[in-house]
Amino acid sequence: MQETFHNAHAGRLDSVLAALLCTSRNQAAQLLKAGAVTVNGIARSASWKLCGGEEICVCAKQAKQQQTAQEITLDVQILYEDECLLVLNKPPMLVVHGAPSVREPTLCDWLAQKGYCLSTLAGENRHGIVHRLDKQTSGAIVIAKDNATHSALSAQLQSRELGRYYLAIVDRELREDTIFACDMARAPHNRLKMGKVPQGKGRFSQSLFVNLAPSLRGDSALVAAKLKTGRTHQIRCHLENLGRHILGDRLYGYRGGYDGRIMLHAYLLYLTHPKTQESLILKAPLFLDMLRYLSQNYDRERIDEVLGHGSIIAAFGLLDERLHASGTE
């Protein structure tokens, strides 16, 4: 897929390209380094001086096919697709993109094998990836098919116009629906996890949490989370500081009898379509392991009621109103 711009600006190529794509100068430089940009048909360096009047072409190269004789078979459900973007329901235990330590197929491998032509702003190994989910976390993830869409969605992610409502099964109910905020950084005694640090020593983070349903025996609870910021392990870290732990999340202190994957799912994804400006809310159905646990341990009528996306959004609306009225937002 190729985008062509008729440049009217003078200046360094990376700066002009960043402005044309509505992205950062660093991302523009990555595109130039990858050879995805030409000026009047010729690849140029980031520091090339433009005078105005040039034709700049940006080629979103098709993701490289996975080199394997066996087809990658993954349970990936398409929730929405058009010429600009793709929204998928990522199954649990699937890594989003490759890394030196990753040996199994990734979501990026699946996208490559399906032959999708995707944005290149995130780099060679992360074509199309606007945001990510942890390996054990399931649910909605949006993929950009071109660089303009990727830039627009990244801006929405920063402004929180794009976001998700998460479902988590925790070891006991929250004391009340609440907001939690703190600065976060790598935990000094365990670099695999994030922790709360003194103000100014990390990055600010903020989450909203609401109770949805207690289990029949009172030994777990279904809660929902909405993020005001998007930090690594934010929900898991915040719940630990609230004295709650997601089932299966032993890294953050869960000590119960459940021994499956971390029960965290990105259930609803909302965004404004970059091209049509339509507001979209997309639901990612729960996977069998989470559905089975809820079916065996919760009142089914209550679960059916709270899993309606209107109920979840309304619950956060009430919490927002309460926090605004109290001046704690």
Annotation marks residue 134 as catalytic:
yes
pLDDT at 69: 36
Q: Are residues 270 and 304 in the same domain?
A: yes
Q: What residues does 21 pair with on adjacent strands?
A: none
Identify residue 174 by its one-letter amino acid code. Answer: L
Q: Are residues 32 and 175 in the same domain?
A: no
Angle at which helix 147-159 crosses helix 13-21, to 10 degrees, equals: 70
Overall domain count for the chain: 3
Q: Tell me whether residue 195 is in a domain.
A: yes
Q: Are residues 254 and 197 in the same domain?
A: yes
Contacts of 178 (CB under 8 A, 6+ apart): 208, 209, 242, 319
The last residue of a domain, from among 110, 130, 159: 159
Q: What is the pLDDT of residues 232-271, one digit of tens each?
A: 999 999 999 999 999 999 999 999 999 999 999 999 999 9
pLDDT at 190: 87
Q: Tell me whether residue 65 is in a domain.
A: no
Q: Are residues 274 and 206 in the same domain?
A: yes
Pairing, β 264-272 against β 279-283: antiparallel
Q: Are residues 204 and 315 in the same domain?
A: yes
pLDDT at 125: 75
Nearest to 230 by CA among 156, 287, 329: 156
Q: Which of 14, 82, 109, 134 is catalytic?
A: 134
What's the sign of the alpha-carbon dihedral 48, 54, 60, 62?
negative
- Whether 145 and 85 have beta carbons less than 8 Å apart is answered as yes
Nearest to 243 by CA among 223, 266, 272, 213: 223
Q: Are residues 144 and 240 in the same domain?
A: no
pTM: 0.78
Q: Are residues 215 and 136 in the same domain?
A: no
Q: Are residues 107 and 183 in the same domain?
A: no
The last residue of a domain, from among 132, 159, 186: 159
Q: State how far the alpha carbon of 121 is from the alpha carbons of 27, 31, 32, 57, in Å.
A: 6, 7, 10, 15
Residue 39 DSSP SS3: strand
Q: Tell me whether residue 149 is in a domain.
A: yes
Could you list the residue range(s) of the whole structural domain that residue 206 is in? 163-326
Q: Are residues 121 and 153 in the same domain?
A: yes
Residues of the chain with pLDDT under 50: 61-70
Q: What residues does 86 pair with on adjacent strands?
A: 81, 143
Q: Are residues 189 and 139 in the same domain?
A: no
Identify residue 7 by its one-letter amino acid code. Answer: N
- CATH number, domain of 148, equals 3.30.2350.10
Q: Tell me whether residue 64 is in a domain.
A: no
Q: Are residues 210 and 89 in the same domain?
A: no
- Whether 23 and 37 have beta carbons less than 8 Å apart is answered as no
- Whether 263 and 169 have beta carbons less than 8 Å apart is answered as yes
Phi and psi at 172, nearest 5°, equal -165, 160
The last residue of a domain, from among 137, 159, 181: 159
Identify residue 80 by its one-letter amino acid code. Answer: Y
